[in-house]
């Protein structure tokens, strides 16, 4: 099979040919139809992600495809079942063996491309806004990086949960995509003062921030008393330092979230969230935005779209 593999953290990943894997006990063999890319893939290539596997490894955290075989003693899902899997690695390949208990059966109306980019982005936003921030109808939510993979889902879910959503992104084209996802107010990060724009709108009750850096600092300073701030990631490359005295004075909560980490200590949080999200999709409430779909032989170009922030929503690679 063909696979896009990291040989070392100093080398550029490359397309290579490997033996087709065989599932062991507790695993299923999946013929991969689509792989959703994430910013974490870029970090894994450099060995800077918290769950980077030892080299060599195949990148690609989340996939969708069809079960082709079961490992010894594995009960299901049955051969032929359409599934999505948060795998952690192995997605940029034609086949992969994954834990059967991580497979989620797809709604009949969900395409493989939608499914491949669904779990991490929507799961992160839903757990952040519902389980962590306890977002309430009528509250004001700011989403930075609002046209990106996770940001756009936060706009969509925040609106679905009844919040007033402020979307912050770079440039008119990206802001228009956020508006179409449900944003009530738009802030152009390239030309507007984020703090002043948010304060003029009455301040912030919840901040969802995958960017970090100056945008985090501006949003933090626009928070209302009792606000909740959720650092999702640091796409700017700048991890902000949080002034603890401001937390004290304004009774602000800063809430960390690593979505994948729940698999290790409270997997039911993710399971319950996925049930809600797939239900919303089946009912037509969620509409994943995929800006680019590229074949496996252009995986390096797909990753470069993320690196250069030229994508909106998700980038998907189709191995077969």
Please list the residues that pair with 158 across neighbouring strands. Answer: none
pLDDT, tens digit, for every residue of 37-68? 999 999 999 999 988 999 999 999 999 999 99
pLDDT at position 27 over 90: yes
Q: Is the peptide bond before 77 cis (omega within 30 degrees of 0)?
A: yes
Residue 193 CA to residue 163 CA, distance in Å, equals 22
User: Which homologous superfamily is 124-260 in?
Assistant: Medium-chain alcohol dehydrogenases, catalytic domain (3.90.180.10)
State the average pLDDT over residues 127-152.
96
pLDDT score of 267 more than 90:
no
Token digits of residue 116: 């491949």
Q: What is the mean pLDDT of the chain?
A: 95
**What confidence tier does 138 reach under pLDDT thresholds 50, 70, 90?**
very high
Residue 193 has pLDDT above 90, yes or no: yes
Task: Give the pLDDT band (50/70/90) at residue 319.
Answer: very high
Residues 291-303 have pLDDT tens digits of 999 999 999 999 9
Q: Work out the percent of the chain whose per-residue pLDDT is above 70.
A: 100
Integer Cα distance of 5 and 59 in angstroms: 6
Full-model pTM: 0.88
Q: Once rounded to an integer, what is the mean pLDDT over residues 217-222?
A: 97
The pLDDT value recorded for residue 271 is 86
In the prediction, which pLDDT does 50 show? 86
pLDDT band at residue 180 using 50, 70 and 90 as cut-offs: very high
Boundaries of CATH 3.90.180.10 in the chain?
2-118+288-318, 124-260
**pLDDT on residue 264:** 87
Are 167 and 155 in contact, with CB atoms under 8 Å apart? yes
The mean pLDDT of 310-314, rounded to a whole number, is 91
pLDDT greater than 90 at residue 260: no
Quickly state the pLDDT bin for 123 (edges 50, 70, 90). very high
Instruction: Please write the tens of the pLDDT for every residue from 152-161.
Output: 999 999 999 9
Element (H, E) at 99: strand 95-99
CATH placement of domain 2-118+288-318: 3.90.180.10
Q: How far apart are the C-alpha atoms of 312 and 315, rounded to whole Å?
A: 8
62-121 pLDDT tens trace: 999 999 999 999 998 999 999 999 989 999 999 999 999 999 999 999 999 999 989 999
Distance, CA of 221 to CA of 197 (rounded, Å): 11
pLDDT at position 212 over 90: yes
89, 61 Cβ separation under 8 angstroms? yes
């Amino acid at each position: 099979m063909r696979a896009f593999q990291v040989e070392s953290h100093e080398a550029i990943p490359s397309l290579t040919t490997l033996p087709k894997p065989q599932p062991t006990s507790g695993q299923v063999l999946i013929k991969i139809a689509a792989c959703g890319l994430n910013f974490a893939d870029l970090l894994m290539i450099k060995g800077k992600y918290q769950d980077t596997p030892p080299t060599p490894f195949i990148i690609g955290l989340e996939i969708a495809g069809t079960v082709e075989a079961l490992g010894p003693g594995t009960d299901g899902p049955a051969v032929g079942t359409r599934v999505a899997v948060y795998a952690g690695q192995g997605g940029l390949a034609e086949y992969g063996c994954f834990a059967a208990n991580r497979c989620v059966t797809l709604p009949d109306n969900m395409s493989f491309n939608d499914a491949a980019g669904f779990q991490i982005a929507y799961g992160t936003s839903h757990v952040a806004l519902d389980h962590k921030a306890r977002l309430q109808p009528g509250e004001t939510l700011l989403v930075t990086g609002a046209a990106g993979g996770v940001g756009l889902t936060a706009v969509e879910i925040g609106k679905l949960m009844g919040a007033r959503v402020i979307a912050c992104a770079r440039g008119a084209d990206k802001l228009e995509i956020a508006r179409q996802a449900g944003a009530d107010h738009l802030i152009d990060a390239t030309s507007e003062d984020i703090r002043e724009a948010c304060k003029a709108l009455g301040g912030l009750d919840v901040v969802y921030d995958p960017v970090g850096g100056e945008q985090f600092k501006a949003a933090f300073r626009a928070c209302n008393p009792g606000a909740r701030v959720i650092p999702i990631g640091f796409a700017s490359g700048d991890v902000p330092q949080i002034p603890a005295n401001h937390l004290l004075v304004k009774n602000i909560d800063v809430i960390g979230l690593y979505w994948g980490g729940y698999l290790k200590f409270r997997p039911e949080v993710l399971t319950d969230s996925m049930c809600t999200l797939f239900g919303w999709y089946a009912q037509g409430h969620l509409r994943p935005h995929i800006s680019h779909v590229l074949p496996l032989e252009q995986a390096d170009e797909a990753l470069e779209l993320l690196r250069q922030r030229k994508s909106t929503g998700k980038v998907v690679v189709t191995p077969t």
